[in-house]
Structure formats: structure tokens, C-alpha cells
Amino acid sequence: MNYIPVDREQQHQSQQTFRHPKYYKKNNNFKPNNYHEYPRKFFNEELLDEFSVSSAKYGRPFQFEASPVAEVMFKCKRKKLFSNPNRYPLRACEFVIVQCENGIDIGTISSFGADAKEKHRTVYHDEPPEFVILRHANREDLERHRKNKADELEAVEVGKEIVKQYELDMKVTATEWQFDRLRLTIFFTAPQRIDFRDLVKELARVFKTRIELRQISTREEAKRIGGMGPCGLDLCCTCFVSEFSHITLDHARTQMLSNNVSKLSGYCGRLKCCLLYEHDTYLEEFKNYPPIASTVDFPDCSGKISKIDIFKKQVYLYFDSTQTYRAFSQEEIALLETQGKVTRPLKEEAAIFVEKEFAFEELDYDEEEMY
């Protein structure tokens, strides 16, 4: 990981010019008059070139702002909201030292200003931040952070060896040193609950610090590892999803998606989070159509609505007499309904039809385990 030191721009410079921090890497001669007031800043170079939804929405991602709250990102894109009582001028991707339980830690500013205020309301439900931002990170802090990150790789290997000695059915996936090294958090996955009391004692003896073992789900593991989804973008859980929602096959049935579970599952082996994104839109659009399994009468035959395409605004009818499908526009179906030629099914009948039409035969684990 590379760290870029950046001095704050002069107050008297044009407020319309906000340069990328990499600009100052090539222009080290810049010295602001109020240098003592705005100390040297350090940025996480790995995040500088990443696309940010908040920067595109609110603009000026590299402007300093004395935000009352800010979201700070830690290892594996773990995020938490912190207050800024001292009103330090903050900027995206900047390293800061924050307060944490029983000590201090280091993280990167992921959102601030209007973006952080909106997240405070929507994601954190207006709950007051538990901890505060203590100060900006300095060069000594960054050197200490480098050493901690290097030691984390070694801690993973040591942890795996100790787990193997105790013959426990668990997989160590990552470790995280607290900045002051008063705590070492070990993340693991396991098929069931583990009695690791003896393991914790051994780990504390080896690392000589407080040990916290945290069991994570397969979704959390995929979030920490990261990757690229079939859409060609980074996984949602590594970018903006902060809480995992309850997702079942009913969400896929409502959207009339393919009954191939492998296509609906993510890298975590569970149903994709994006199945929720358009679910409410489908429910709203379906109000403009007769329900699935409705019968449409014609002079010579009758058909049953088997699928609705809300994007093409088409309704697909299945004719049992000819065993064929035929597409009708929304306007044509609406006209037939006004003429009294559409018979709506009972709720139970529609549910049975959907269950049969969009059955997931390749399902090899319980539906309730897919979230």
C-alpha cells in the first residue's frame, strides 16, 4: 500500500479548483502560508482512483470539509460512522486516527459532508456515533500501520497452524491488528458453532495481546475477499452494501427469472444481493397487469397468462389447445379486460401456478439457508 502526503490548498486560492492529491506528489514545492494550521495529510493511494458513487453524486471529492460526522473504512472494507467534534477538515481517502473500544485505530475516510449525513440517516438510522475522530494520521502512524499489516499476514499462518493442532472444524480467513496492538481480531468461517476457549488461551499466549475470534458468514467472507460480478463491476458488498438483507427464492419468482439457481447465486454461494434492487419496481408495475395465471378468452380458444415482461410491456399467454405461446401488448390485454374477457384466478391458484412455472429444481439446499 502506498501513502501520499498532501498539503492543504491555500485558502485564498480559487475555490473552484480542486486538484487530485496525486498532483501534489509532483509539486512538492507548494507551502501554504497557514501550514501550522493545516498539517500534512496522508492519503490511501489504493482508493484514490476507485470510482465512488458519492463523489459522482455530490462532486468535489477532494475538497476539505469540517464535517460533523464521517464514515471511516478499515481493513476488508469494514465501515463505521464517527463523529468529528473537533471539526477537523476532512477529505476522501485520507488516513485518520479514531477512537475505538479499549484503544485507538487507524482508518480511511470513505465519506464525509452531505454524503455522510445522508448515510447517518439512511444506513445508521440517526443513531449517534459511538466513537470520535481523534486526529489526522502522521508519518509515524503510517509506518506503524505498515508494520501491522505485514504482521497480519504472518498472524494468519500462525492461526491456521494452531487451529490445525486443536483439530477444530474452522477456517481462518483474515486477521486484523488494532493500531495500538492492544487487540488482534481473527476472522473465521465454520459450519457450526465452535468451542474455542482453549484456542483463545493459546492464541493469547502466542501473540501476547487480547484475542477476539469473530465468526463470519460466507457472504461476509466474499465481501472481504472481493471480486467482480457477472455485470462487470465490483461486488456490491465490497462497494456500497453495508448490511445484508434477507433474500429468498420468492424474490426471483416475483421477477420471473431463470430457474437456474447457479445463475442466481453469487460468489458466496447465496442468492445475489441485486435480486432486491428491482423487486419493488416489479411489484409496482404488476399492478398495471392482470395477475399471473389469469385466463383470457378468445372466440375460438382461451389462454393463460404465464409471464409478464414489464420492460417490453408485453404479456405472454400459453394456449393449451395448441401448446404454444403468444405475446400481447399491455394495451391489448387492457382492452380485453375492459371487455370482460379476462378472468382473474384465485390467490391460491396463482401461487400454485407460479410455484410450478418457476420451480427451482436444481436447488440442493434449504431455501431459508440462502440468505
pLDDT at 86: 92
CB-based contacts of 228: which residues, under 8 Å, 6+ apart? 234, 235
What CA–CA distances, in Å, run from 230 to 50, 255, 264, 274? Answer: 19, 18, 10, 11
| 334-360 pLDDT tens trace | 999 899 998 888 777 777 776 666 655
Distance CA 41, CA 97 (A): 12
pTM over 0.75: no
HSE at residue 182, side-chain half, CA atoms within 13 A, is: 8
For residue 158, pLDDT beyond 90: yes
Q: 192: which 3 cell numbers?
A: 457450526
- Catalogue all structural domains in the chain, each as residue range(s) with its CATH number: 3-136 (no CATH), 144-220 (3.30.300.20), 247-371 (no CATH)
Greater model confidence, 150 or 194: 150
What would the DSSP string read from start to end of 271-331? B-GGGGTTHHHHHHHGGGSPPTT-EEE-SS-EEEEEEEETTTTEEEEEETTTTEEEEEEHH
Q: Pick 86 or 193 by higher pLDDT.
A: 86
pLDDT in tens, 73-119: 888 778 899 999 999 999 888 999 999 988 999 999 988 988 889 88
Q: What is the pLDDT of residue 233?
A: 84
Q: Give bridge partners of residue 365 from the DSSP assignment.
A: none
Nearest-angstrom CA–CA distance, 304 and 325: 9
pLDDT category at 370 given cuts 50, 70, 90 is very low
Interatomic CA distance for residues 259 and 253, integer angstroms: 8
Residue 209 has pLDDT above 90, yes or no: yes
Region of 29 (left: φ > 0; alpha: ψ -120 to 50; beta: rest) is: alpha
